[in-house]
Amino acid sequence: MSRYQAALLGLGLLLVFLLYMGLPGPPEQTSRLWRGPNVTVLTGLTRGNSRIFYREVLPIQQARRAEVVFLHGKAFNSHTWEQLGTLQLLSERGYRAVAIDLPGEYPCIQGFGNSAPSEEVSTEAGRVELL
C-alpha cells in the first residue's frame, strides 16, 4: 500500500468516525402501542337505539382545553387512535378526546369496529345527527 492510499484510508476512517460521533441517533419511540391508564372504553346508544362504541380520555391536568372527536376511514376504527398514542398525547396536554367506532349502514352484519349497524347513518342527515 502506498503512502497516498494509506493517507486516503486514514482520512476516510476519520470522516466516518466524525460522522458517527456528530450525527444524531435514531429518534426515540414516542407512540404508545398500549392503552394509557386513562383511556376508557364505553358503549352508548344513538337516538335510534343502536349501540355505538367509543374510547374516551379525560385531561390528566386540571386545565381543560377544547374537546376533540376522532373519526376514522373504512379500514380503521377507534382503536387506531389509541394505538398511535394520539388519545394519550391529547390527554397529557389537557384535552378531552373521544374516538368513535362509526356504525355501518343497516342491514350490514357489522359496523366499523365494535359499533352496531344503524339505519340512521344511511342518509347524510342521519350521519350529521349521529355526530
Instruction: Answer yes or no: is pLDDT of 27 > 50.
Output: no
- The 10 Å CB-count burial string (b at 16+, else e) for 95-125 is bbbbbbbbbbeeeeeebbbbbbbbebbeeee
Q: What is the pLDDT of residue 32?
A: 42
Joined together, the cell numbers standing for residue 91 give 390527554
* Of residues 27 and 55, more confidently modeled: 55
What would the pLDDT profile of 50-96 be if each residue is shown by its tens digit? 788 889 998 887 667 788 998 887 778 888 888 888 898 888 888 88
**Host H or E run for residue 32:** none
Q: Where does the chain have alpha helices with state H? A: 3-22, 78-83, 86-92, 124-130
Q: How many CA atoms lie within 13 A of 17 on its CB side?
A: 6
| Contact assessment for residue 87 and residue 72, using Cβ atoms and an 8 Å cutoff | no
Is residue 17 predicted with pLDDT exceeding 80? Answer: no
| pLDDT-based confidence at residue 110 (cuts at 50, 70, 90) | low
Round to whole Å and give the CA distance between 70 and 8. Answer: 57
Sign, CA torsion 118/119/123/128? negative
pLDDT for the residue numbered 49: 77
In single-letter form, the type of residue at position 80 comes to T
pTM: 0.62
Question: Please, are residues 124 and 105 in contact by the beta-carbon 8 Å criterion?
Answer: no
pLDDT given at position 34: 47
